[in-house]
Amino acid sequence: MVRLAFLFVILGIGLFVGTQYAGQQGYVLISIADKTIEMSVTTLIVVMLAGIVILFGLEFLIKKALYASSVTWNYFSVRKVKQARRYTNESIIKLLEGDFKSAEKKATYKANHHDMPLLCYLVASEAAHRMGDKTKRAQYLELASKQENSELAVALTQAKQQVAENDYGAAFDTLSGLNANQASNPVVLSLLKRVHTELKMWQPLLDSLPGLEKNKIISKEEREQLNRQAQCGLLEQLAQQQGSDGLTNYWDRLPRKLKEDTEIVECFAKQLMSRKSDTQAFTVVKEYLKKQPRSELYTLLPEMNLADSHPIMAFLETILKKDNSNASAHSALARFHLRKGDWPQAQQHLENALSIRSSLSDYTHLADALEKQNMTRAAREVSKKALTIVQV
């Protein structure tokens, strides 16, 4: 448009000059070396205008030719990209269908022409992983790692594969190599939860629980259960590494809420018992049962190895005076009477416990108590009831 306007301006100037100097063509002499060119001014102007038009025409033709070449080049380039995308999409479908060989082949066929080769190599790596080919899997991950912005995707893919093979140590190393700003990634957190649990890395697991709940990877109930599991794991590690003293020191620092959790109290008592601190374990359990009389912790009492069992028996009798319907207390007290050979007392407490709820263990002990008293027929009947519980 600008060029056309320019031509009209030149033409207008020419018409104006022509009318002004009509009949006065003038004279132009051009001398180059030993050659001379003579022409009128009018002829020179016409030649110059013709030259300008020719230059504009050549420019137009060159641009058209270059544009045609560019369009042709872009056509073939776009065609290759579309083909690569189509093969990649098909490879993902094959991966989901379980045709891992085809998935690998399609993912890598046009990977060099794909606008995101990272995706192709990750799909191929996963296909090789599903086929159990660790060499190819590593090769594809290596190719993927050479792409831009690939660190997180490659690490997550590799960690998932390592977790699937139960290689939790390698998975931990892979995830630990990520940048600090990626540590809050939900997938990273989820994988680390599994890794920390399997490797019994209880303190890191405890530290990660707030982030897991915040990112809605676990519910509040799951967080509480994982907290119990981690606390019990820590208590076991402390018992092995620092003995009962280290165990007690850690317990003293725990929040009151955790000290009132039945599972954690049970774990603490069991670890004390494993370190031959049964008296201390009895004290802990007794104080807890005073506040929570209905608890499965009664089953620990007969397992405690005390020089004198009288304090435990007296405690259980006190509990039963307050609440004679406490089946767990009846069952625990019966175990002490069995140990002492006091069969009638054991029988009475076991029958009281079984009248409240069924228990295979109590039926077995009752049959034994009846057998010791030569009540063979009654013992057989009790054994039959025990069998019905087993069959159910």
Where helices occur in the chain by DSSP H, the ranges are 2-20, 41-97, 100-109, 117-130, 134-145, 151-164, 168-176, 186-198, 202-214, 220-253, 256-259, 262-274, 278-291, 310-322, 327-340, 343-356, 360-372, 376-391
In a domain, 346, yes or no: yes
In a domain, 385, yes or no: yes
Mean of pLDDT over the chain: 85
pLDDT tens-digit readout, 342-361: 999 999 999 999 999 988 89
Q: What is the pTM of this model?
A: 0.73
pLDDT at 42: 65
pLDDT tens-digit readout, 117-155: 888 889 999 999 999 999 999 999 999 999 988 899 999
CATH of the domain at 326: 1.25.40.10
pLDDT at 294: 75
Q: Per-residue pLDDT for 248 more than 80?
A: yes
Give the count of domains, the chain: 1
CA dihedral sign of residues 152, 157, 158, 163:
positive
Of the candidates 111, 116, 160, the one whose C-alpha atom is nearest the C-alpha of residue 137 is: 160
In a domain, 143, yes or no: no
pLDDT at 24: 55
pLDDT tens-digit readout, 49-97: 677 778 777 777 777 666 655 545 554 455 666 777 887 888 889 988 9
Query: 97: which 2 tokens?
Result: 């269908």
CB 295 within 8 A of CB 328: yes
In a domain, 241, yes or no: no
Range of the domain at 382: 308-392
In a domain, 369, yes or no: yes
In a domain, 358, yes or no: yes
Alpha carbon 339 to its chain's center: 51
In a domain, 78, yes or no: no
Q: Per-residue pLDDT for 14 more than 50?
A: yes
Asked which of 32-41, 144-153, 169-178 is least confident by mean pLDDT, the reply is 32-41
In a domain, 1, yes or no: no
Give the residue-averaged pLDDT of 262-274.
94
Where does residue 347 fall: left (phi above 0), alpha (psi -120 to 50 degrees), or beta otherwise?
A: alpha
